[in-house]
Amino acid sequence: MKILVMGPQGSGKSTQAKLLAEKFGYPHIEMGELLRSAAADKSEGAGKIRDCLEKGELLPLEDTAMILKNRLSKPDCQNGFILDGYPRNIEQVKYFLPNFDKVFYLDLSDEEALKRLLKRSRDDDTPELIKRRLEIFHQETKPIRAYFQKLGILKVVDGTPAIEEIFQDLLWRLTKLDGQKQERN
């Protein structure tokens, strides 16, 4: 199964992606980590990746797509994977999109995201910067969500409960039979 976990910063998407990967034995691919690894590489293109990351810029579409395609071509991804952090905008969707079976969007209010992110105590987590990042996130992901909704693979999940409760919700959504009409208790 090929699963994408999306959500705003602070929604716990990476945590949930890791839990799903452990549960089902699929690799967890976190795009940011993949890019940081590529930047640390000794190859010729690593310098370009490092420069973009240090400036806080997105890598060119073709570079990002190539790095992800290379990772997804590895033997451990052939039966499935859990991805988070890609796509980040509709241009990436148009350029390269893995054939996802399910897309989960962890829905979280900006107020809750702000509270969670401020608890991390990172230098780049000021209220102003967090609000700006969330604004950009919403602008960029709204078309992506609409795209996945149109495909019928998007499931919106409440991202406010405890980690275990969200995980159980995701498991239920993954293991229920397609077409099953009963409501979840």
CATH number at residue 116: 3.40.50.300
Report, as an integer, the average pLDDT of 28-47: 87
180 vs 2 pLDDT, higher one: 2
* The two structure tokens encoding residue 19: 């839990």
Q: Is residue 182 part of a domain?
A: no
* The two structure tokens encoding residue 10: 């602070």
What pLDDT does residue 179 have? 43
**In the Cβ-directed half-sphere of 121, how many Cα atoms lie within 13 Å?**
0
Indicate the number of domains in the chain. 1
Q: Is residue 117 part of a domain?
A: yes
Average pLDDT, the chain: 90
What pLDDT does residue 98 have? 95
Which range of residues forms the domain containing residue 25? 2-175
What pLDDT does residue 117 have? 93
121 vs 89 pLDDT, higher one: 89
CA 149 and chain centroid, separation:
16
**Alpha helix (H) residue ranges in 56-162:** 61-72, 90-95, 110-119, 127-151
Q: Is the pLDDT of residue 51 over 80?
A: yes
Beta-carbon contacts of 146 under 8 Å, excluding residues fewer than 6 positions away, are: none
What pLDDT does residue 183 have? 44
- Alpha carbons 84 and 87: distance in angstroms, whole number: 8
Report, as an integer, the average pLDDT of 114-140: 90
What pLDDT does residue 178 have? 45
Q: Is residue 14 part of a domain?
A: yes
pLDDT tens column, 161-181:
999 999 999 999 998 744 443
Q: Is residue 111 part of a domain?
A: yes
Report, as an integer, the average pLDDT of 87-104: 94
pLDDT tens column, 82-95:
999 999 899 999 89
Q: Is residue 152 part of a domain?
A: yes
- Beta strands of the chain (E only): which ranges? 2-6, 28-30, 81-84, 102-107, 154-158
Beta-carbon contacts of 56 under 8 Å, excluding residues fewer than 6 positions away, are: none
pTM over 0.85: yes
What pLDDT does residue 44 have? 73
Q: Is residue 185 part of a domain?
A: no
What pLDDT does residue 180 have? 44
**Strand, coil or helix: what is 155?**
strand
Report, as an integer, the average pLDDT of 104-111: 97
Would you give the DSSP letter of residue 45?
A: T
Report whether 11 contacts 111 (CB < 8 A): no
Q: Is residue 180 part of a domain?
A: no
Q: Is the pLDDT of residue 22 over 90?
A: yes
Q: Is residue 183 part of a domain?
A: no
